[in-house]
Structure 1
Amino acid sequence: MQTNTVPTLSISMQPELMEFLEKNIWHDELIPSQLVINNHSFDIGISYRGNHTRKLRKKSYKIDFGTYNEEFLGREIHINAEYCDPSFIRNKLSFDFFKQIGINSPDCRYVLIEINGRSSGIYLQLESVDDYFLQKRQLSYGPIYYATNHQTNFSLLTTKGEPKSSLISGYLRKIGNVEDDSDLEKLIIKVNTIPRNEFGKEIVKYLDVKKYLIWLCGVICTQNYDAFIQNYALYRNGESGLYEMIPWDFDATFGRDWNGGVMKFNRVPIEGFNTLTARLLDVKEFRVQYRILLEEILENYFTVSDFEPRIINLHKLLRPYIALDPYKKDAIDLFDKEQEFILQFILNRNQYLRDHLKDLE
């Protein structure tokens, strides 16, 4: 829960290590540093994070504490620059929305970052999806994979239609072992090879279908184009043995793409895409279930009246910090216009989806 104050994380590292990091943006090994918050000091390792974001002026970071940290309730955190999102709130809005509709999502809060005494501006601190993520939610231990690129489309083929070099290409195993890789390969094979007339009764042995459909509703409403082929974590529940989707990287939502450009409200169809989604919605029972879930969400959660007070409050909280951010202050006028932009998107997207519920009959 975001409070009315934004804490400051003061990071210090040796100047030569800072210079090395700035010159080697693809270096993933952790740089030894120190973090101070509320007069508490911690030894940390820090590196840049993300893919295209590493090329931007304001970069994002991963911070690793080595062991469980009481202050941050985890072993590592992600510090997102949100540089391409002119509103600075799309990720948080999305994760809070997913929680509302019943999907486990990372906790997040806004923080100020100082590095070697110099302000880097305001960031979004994200919880890592790992074993501590599971413990906090009293979820049974199970393997977790990050879908790191567009190869994670639940298909036997790449997005270019070519055979994959590995069925689990693009998946980064966060928690688990080599045996879990085989289980993930099995899931992808099953998604692609179960006969059509058996798919409905067989896929439920591998996938929590209802949770997938709720996740699909969230993606469809927020219109995260990339979420079908990346931008998610995949968790196999240790108790049920079924796979579940966890949203990740949802800044390219609510009418803007991953570069911050405008994405029209009708860009992603109501059926979504990727092999798994297509096969699920090919089953009448699942298609009807998806329609009922989506209709309820459009009526009760994805509405202007529900989002407007949150958007106003976040804008009010962030504006003083955006105005002082060395990387964002020149775009303050655009930041001020984003409230109306997002609310108009919600209104248009909601109506578009309502108009196309008939497509699910």
Structure 2
Amino acid sequence: MSTSQLPLIAIYIHPNDFRELRRDIWNDEPVPATLTFHNKRFHIDISYRGSHIRKFKKKSYFISFYKPYFFHGAHELHLNAEYKDPSLMRNKLSLDFFTDLGVLSPSSQHVLLSMNGKHEGIYLQLESVDEFFLKKRNLPSGPIFYAIDDDANFSLIGSFDQKPKTVLDAGYERKLGTKEDHRYLEEFIYKLNTTTRHEYESVMSQILDVNKYLRWLAGVVCTQNFDGFVHNYALYRNPDSGLFEIIPWDFDATWGRDINGKEMHYDYVRIEGFNTLSARLLDIDRFRNMYYHIMKQTLDHPFTVEFMKPKIEKLYAQLRPNVFHDPYIKDRIEQFDKEPERICTFIEKRNAYLKRNLSSLL
């Protein structure tokens, strides 16, 4: 199997700009560069991306295109190093899994990256959640808010200081829409917290796509992304329906490993998940019943070894020849080889654990 199976992205940054980029890993100001893909040249801006991942020796990047303005229908893309995931596939497996559950989810594919002629190894190319993400899916343009820190916890209390929030949209950054659109987000946060139990079903059904939220919840619970309940997501408000939908993001700490790549026990996250919104929705009989049926269907089909194993094996076969040539992970080939089986074992044990707990939802 040849290494050319994965597409190559070649980036060139002028040495002066490269020095500027590397001078401060926390600086979000991009530098100009050129990107070549399948012999086509693009002028781009490039910066580092992520929070704690910037400290790793294999960096992740955020790219925006300005000449030409589009790259395969996208204006921006993310190149994730997936450095702490020894399988390199957990993020992609998760995002594809959410798509299978009927949840809006970014598309992704593995690529090879070279930077100024130096081979940087395997990366996951991720679609940006923006107006073009909506356009590709024939969805109307509406506000998108990124959950950028743990204050996006669906609560009136801040995660960091445990004090009442001074602004209701704390923890979010607007990606699309206008300043006025923040009122929808503020109203959403306020109502999900203050509406009485008696009115909750009616009020939430008018501002949230509850079915899709519960599908997302099932996905986070199955893949066991501990951070995913208060972080690692975006909110999109569909202007036609007036309902918010939730979109997953950064799901590499899943399928039995945490953000540091350490093993996470299969029963670490309970079947109801966490966060204020989930707790309040599951306190309503109709919504709890809806979640029970979504979870049961998920455990019967997509979240099974039978369904996931061919996907895992296909990714493993694509990636393995390229691991040898990745300067950051080539010494970890033995661990990489064990990961498909480890992920399958996690699915088996997690599935059995969740099935044992299904009755608690009735």
The AA in structure 2 aligned to 1:131 is E
Q: Distance in 2 between matches of 1:338 and 1:290?
A: 30
> 2:65–2:71: 8 Å Cα contact kept in structure 1?
no
Mapping 1:118-197, distance limit 5 Å? 118-160=118-160, 161-197=162-198
Q: Distance in 2 between matches of 1:229 and 1:115?
A: 34
Q: Distance in 1 between matches of 2:189 and 2:4?
A: 44
Mapping 1:42-121, distance limit 5 Å? 42-66=42-66, 69-121=69-121
**CA offset at residue 66 of structure 1?**
2.8
Moved over 4 A (4+): 67-70
Q: 1:67 to 1:356 in 2, by over 3 A?
A: farther
Q: Distance in 2 between matches of 1:254 and 1:67?
A: 39
The AA in structure 2 aligned to 1:164 is K
Q: Distance in 1 between matches of 2:112 and 2:54?
A: 19
**How many residues are matched?**
359
Query: What is the aligned partner in structure 1 of residue 41 from structure 2?
Result: 41
Query: What is the aligned partner in structure 2 of residue 253 from structure 1?
Result: 254
**CA offset at residue 320 of structure 1?**
1.1
Q: Distance in 2 between matches of 1:224 and 1:4?
A: 32
Q: Distance in 2 between matches of 1:280 and 1:154?
A: 12
Query: What is the aligned partner in structure 1 of residue 286 from structure 2?
Result: 285
Q: Distance in 2 between matches of 1:328 and 1:72?
A: 29
> 1:4–1:317: 8 Å Cα contact kept in structure 2?
no
**CA offset at residue 69 of structure 1?**
4.6
Where 1:119 maps in the other structure, the secondary structure is strand
Q: Distance in 2 between matches of 1:103 and 1:311?
A: 20
Query: What is the aligned partner in structure 1 of residue 270 from structure 2?
Result: 269
**CA offset at residue 4 of structure 1?**
8.3
Q: Distance in 2 between matches of 1:288 and 1:116?
A: 55
The AA in structure 1 aligned to 2:48 is Y
**CA offset at residue 73 of structure 1?**
1.7
Where 2:33 maps in the other structure, the secondary structure is strand
Query: What is the aligned partner in structure 2 of residue 26 from structure 1?
Result: 26
The AA in structure 1 aligned to 2:198 is N
Mapping 1:215-226, distance limit 5 Å? 215-226=216-227
Q: Structure 2, unaligned stretches of length 5 or more? A: none
Q: Distance in 2 between matches of 1:74 and 1:203?
A: 33
Q: CA RMSD in A?
A: 1.3
> 2:143–2:237: 8 Å Cα contact kept in structure 1?
yes
Mapping 1:338-357, distance limit 5 Å? 338-357=339-358
Q: 1:9 to 1:102 in 2, by over 3 A?
A: same
**CA offset at residue 158 of structure 1?**
1.7
**CA offset at residue 110 of structure 1?**
0.9
**CA offset at residue 159 of structure 1?**
2.4
Q: Distance in 2 between matches of 1:151 and 1:256?
A: 24
Q: Distance in 2 between matches of 1:67 and 1:132?
A: 17
Deviation digits for residues 18-61 of structure 1, max 9, x if unmatched?
Answer: 11211210111110000111111110000000000101110100
Q: Structure 1, unaligned stretches of length 5 or more? A: none
TM-score of the two chains, using structure 2 as the length reference: 0.97
> 1:68–1:75: 8 Å Cα contact kept in structure 2?
no
Percent of matched pairs sharing the same residue: 50
> 2:111–2:125: 8 Å Cα contact kept in structure 1?
yes
Where 2:199 maps in the other structure, the secondary structure is helix
**CA offset at residue 116 of structure 1?**
0.7
**CA offset at residue 68 of structure 1?**
6.9
> 1:154–1:274: 8 Å Cα contact kept in structure 2?
yes
Where 2:181 maps in the other structure, the secondary structure is helix
Query: What is the aligned partner in structure 2 of residue 297 from structure 1?
Result: 298
> 2:237–2:244: 8 Å Cα contact kept in structure 1?
yes
Q: Distance in 1 between matches of 2:320 and 2:163?
A: 46
**CA offset at residue 165 of structure 1?**
3.4
**CA offset at residue 164 of structure 1?**
2.1
> 1:156–1:189: 8 Å Cα contact kept in structure 2?
yes
**CA offset at residue 213 of structure 1?**
0.6
Deviation digits for residues 153-193 of structure 1, max 9, x if unmatched?
Answer: 10001225222232212211100111111210111000110
Q: 1:269 to 1:11 in 2, by over 3 A?
A: same
2:292 aligned with 1:312:
no
> 2:153–2:230: 8 Å Cα contact kept in structure 1?
yes
> 1:68–1:74: 8 Å Cα contact kept in structure 2?
no
Query: What is the aligned partner in structure 2 of residue 201 from structure 1?
Result: 202
